Structure 1
Amino acid sequence: MSDEHDLRDRLHAVVPEPPAAPGRAAAARSLAGRRRRRGTLVAVAGVVAAIVGAGLTVQSLRPDDRGTDRVATPSTPSSPPEVDAGAGITCPPPRTDGGTPPEGAALPTGATSARLCPVDAEGGFAAPVDALVSDVDSIVGAIEALPRYDQNQPCTMEWEPSYWLILGYPDGTTRQVEGSLAGCEVLQGAGPARTGAEGVWDRYLQLLGDQRASTTPPPAPDAVDCPASKDFSASSPLATPLQSVHAVLRWRDTDGSSSWSCAQIPDDDLAVILASLADPANTIRPGRLDCEQVLQFEIVGVNRWGDLGSMLGDCGAFMVGDRYRSPSQEAEDLMLAVVDAHDG
């Protein structure tokens, strides 16, 4: 597989292709067919030997701790307790106008539930479907242990999402804090402003993952709704896209001249596509991407917990974790069949 990708790129550097014919799926197929023919021509010319002689290899992707680099049929505990997905707390609408972070005194102990919610309407994340209902007071303790924020300390200016953490108490009251994952990682709403909001974020996700290991997920949705986002879809921080049980395919022209189209991927076809993208042999280096592709793809799926996760496909490859994966020919054909069925 690695030789095939390298062969395509070598020939493309020497013999650029003309523009594709009209028709999005047909154009994509035409380019894919020409890429396969290039491999044959170059092999005949002896370039295979040159590539093998250069000792080029494909690095395999290290499996992510949450399983985002694996396709597996998850096992269910023998007699796990049910989990209350909402725990009586709902996320407020994301903020669209900048807004003001919450203010409040020090957090009381005794919280029994906590929800993680996105602050930003665009470019943020999708909230996990379930609330944390175990060891919640350790989150309060982690917040209280953070150092106070000094307004004079220098902070970097990169953009990262912000989150709301909403704590529920037995008397029905709630407290809301806001943390930023950018710059000085300021956390507000729990007395004096503090720094180190990313540590609270990490602690929450660790506890929620531990809770899921001993509970039963809520009923999974029967299908995935096509996202309304004009940009790329937000993912849950606990998303496992390669373990999606249902998914939609979104596509648009790579030059940005069209809006997103969207259609359901049949579940059997989804299994083939995800298995292809999970295969480390299909890893491709950024310098080997084929940006002649006429379509940009996004696979948006849900795992058995209902976590929304997306994978962007551009230049003939999808981002899987921090690596690019090129789908197999069978997987590519299945995606183009979805496009054909939608476009008629």
Structure 2
Amino acid sequence: MNMTFKTFALTATAATLAVGLTACNQSTAPATPTPTTPTSAQSVESTPSSQAPSPSATETEPTDESPSPTPSATESSPSATGAVGTMRFDPAPDGRPGAAACYDAEGKGIRVPENQPEITKGAVEAWLCGEAPDGHGTVGPLEPLITNVDALVGDYLALPPLTDGNAQEAASFFHVVLVYPDGTRRVIEGDDQDSTPVIGSGKPKQGSSEFASKVRGHWLDQRFVTKVPVPGEVINLVASCPGPEHNVLASPIDDVNAGWMCHGKTHDTVKKTIIDGALAKRIAESLDINSTPMEGGESVNQNSIHLVTPWGESILLQSLADEDGFQYRGESSMMKYLVPADLARDIDALEPNA
């Protein structure tokens, strides 16, 4: 079942685009089932540049200095099969968006438990989670932070006590899940707004916006500075209809190497088509000269294109309901994209494969 696009040629200068921009309150996309998620995590061993515990560290017994948190913060994720402290993609099971560590044993989105024990350095890995499964709009990465985990904890510990916590929750709400050598976990909760409290152990802290920026920075440093290798093919782990709308992390649009399309006459008949990597790159490359800024968003239908980077972040192009073209989130505004004629023909030729 094909989507049909009228072809327009429009030359414009669009704002520089990054995949997964977060500071947005205009949520329009629903949840993300994942039909083709493998049953085990794809794992590649990687030695962090600092604090590199061996996988055997997971077998150590808890000590008196490592009290056990409540079960919702300590039980293993249902599909976590890779060795703790190694680089791997570990998607959540059962079509849930994000990583397995972002959910408790009952499949609910991880939250800070009551009376959580003290957060200390010494964790062997950290996971970054969006607001799933409640909001589905914001999705975190599928890989853990295994480098500079102590630095992330230090960023949290250095935050001052909360003095202003009046901001309402935004679309960039996130959780950090810390995993310690004995298997216990601690959870930190924050947002992109300074007036949102950072919640972990003890009293709430101030400085959520700066903390969020530092958290993202640790993951991006691991990818692009430490250059930990991508642990496998990601497209089949994230391609779903409907797909995620926002990503907690941002990746360069130049890195797009895959994609998928959701298309159908109604929401109930939407099917998925994996887009060839070369075609996905052509669409990404055409965005800049074929896009113009919009004032806010417009009405959209059930059809969409998702462009994916090697680490799994995607940019959502939503088909406009009342006119030709797509809308997506640019660097500083919503953008309207009019598909060039040659790409429109190639997109129309695609057939659903799921």
**Would you say the 8 A contact 2:234–2:311 is kept in 1?**
no
Q: Where in structure 2 are there 5+ consecutive unaligned residues?
A: 22-44, 49-85, 91-98
Partner of 1:52: none
Partner of 2:66: none
- Map of 1:177-256 to 2, 5 A cutoff? 177-181=188-192, 184-213=195-224, 214-221=227-234, 223=236, 226-229=239-242, 233-240=245-252, 243-252=255-264
Distance 2:117 2:276 in 1: 51
**Would you say the 8 A contact 2:102–2:127 is kept in 1?**
no
Distance 1:212 1:98 in 2: 25
CA distance 1:183–1:311, change in 2 (3 Å): farther
How many residue pairs get aligned? The number is: 273
Partner of 2:282: 272
**1:284 pairs with one of 289, 292, 297:** 292
Distance 1:295 1:237 in 2: 26
Partner of 1:319: 328
Partner of 1:147: 160
Instruction: Write 1 or 2 for the structure with the bigger share of helix.
Output: 1
1:249-285 deviations in whole A, cap 9, x for unaligned?
Answer: 11355xx7765332222333323222222xx321224
Distance 1:232 1:143 in 2: 28
Partner of 1:58: 12
SS at match of 1:195: coil
| Structure possessing the higher relative contact order (Cα contacts under 8 Å, 6 or more residues apart) | 2
Bigger CA radius of gyration: 1
**1:333 pairs with one of 321, 345, 349:** 345
Distance 1:224 1:166 in 2: 21
**1:169 pairs with one of 164, 180, 193:** 180
1:94-136 deviations in whole A, cap 9, x for unaligned?
Answer: 8998996424243222223211122431234222122112222
CA distance 1:98–1:265, change in 2 (3 Å): closer
**Would you say the 8 A contact 2:257–2:278 is kept in 1?**
no
Distance 1:257 1:112 in 2: 42
Letter in 2 for 1:217: V
TM-score, normalising length from structure 2? Answer: 0.62
SS at match of 2:272: strand
User: What's the CA shift for 1:170?
Assistant: 3.0
User: What's the CA shift for 1:329?
Assistant: 1.2
User: What's the CA shift for 1:219?
Assistant: 1.4
**1:303 pairs with one of 300, 309, 313:** 309
User: What's the CA shift for 1:206?
Assistant: 0.8
Distance 2:197 2:112 in 1: 10
User: What's the CA shift for 1:192?
Assistant: 0.7
TM-score, normalising length from structure 1? Answer: 0.64
Q: Where in structure 1 are there 5+ consecutive unaligned residues?
A: 1-22, 40-56, 68-79
